[in-house]
Amino acid sequence: MTDCIFCQMAKEKNLLLAEFKHCFVIKDQYPVSPGHLLIIPYQHTENWFTSSSEVKAEINLILEKMKKLLDDGYHPDGYNIGMNCGPAAGQTVMHLHVHLIPRYRGDMSDPRGGIRGVIPTKQKYE
């Protein structure tokens, strides 16, 4: 798709941190934390549920490789892995992308509930 920012980025080799058969990796332009990466398929597909089994398998392998890269370069204390599937889930670019977000002790006062924080009133188990 010519109007998709991620399809355009795939052609900008200087932006790519790593390249694989089905996917590429870039640094997030609006990082949540130091080292925040995006894993993006070359082929335009809207989200995880519309992607092929080959893309899904490769994303899992890339997560492992990029975790090692981030462990060596940033030494985070944990990770969040996430994706938004559909506008109601917060997806703003309708091209599958997986966030690998390094987390650090003290980066927020109380990280308990993690990904549940997408709905702040549901983050805490109360």
For position 1, what pLDDT does the model report? Answer: 61
Over residues 34-81, the pLDDT tens digits come to 999 999 999 999 999 999 999 999 999 999 999 999 999 999 999 999
How many Cβ atoms are within 10 Å of 73's Cβ, its own excluded?
A: 11
CATH of the domain at 26: 3.30.428.10
Reported pTM: 0.93
Cα–Cα distances in angstroms (integers) from residue 57 to residues 40, 63, 89, 108, in the given order: 13, 10, 23, 32
Q: What share of the chain is helix, strand, coil (3-state, %, to 5)?
A: 35, 20, 45
**Domains held by the chain: number:** 1
CA distances from 107 to 10, 58, 82, 102 (A): 31, 30, 18, 10
Q: Which domain, by its residues, includes 91?
A: 5-122
